[in-house]
Amino acid sequence: MSHPGNDEITDNARDRIDPQRVVLINKMVHAATEVGIGVVQEIAAATLKRQPGMSVKEFTKVLDEYLVQQKAQANNNG
């Protein structure tokens, strides 16, 4: 039988994360964000050379196509 006090104890024990692990997770998220922004900047530069004055909506479609291509490539490699 479940009791509110027991549930809270179980939840707290499950949700407690080592502070060092939190630091590592934050570093990983920062690195992934940095790489992602770099990729978008490279795609933007190449796209705008071919199509100057492209709208944000059109560029978003280019990014969507890139993601589809990358997913297909990852599926073929795995």
pLDDT tens-digit profile of 64-76?
A: 999 999 999 999 9
Domains: count for the chain: 1
Tens-digit pLDDT profile for residues 7-49: 776 766 677 878 898 899 999 999 999 999 999 999 999 999 9
Q: Whole-angstrom Cα distance, residue 68 to residue 57?
A: 17
Containing domain of residue 26, as a range? 4-77
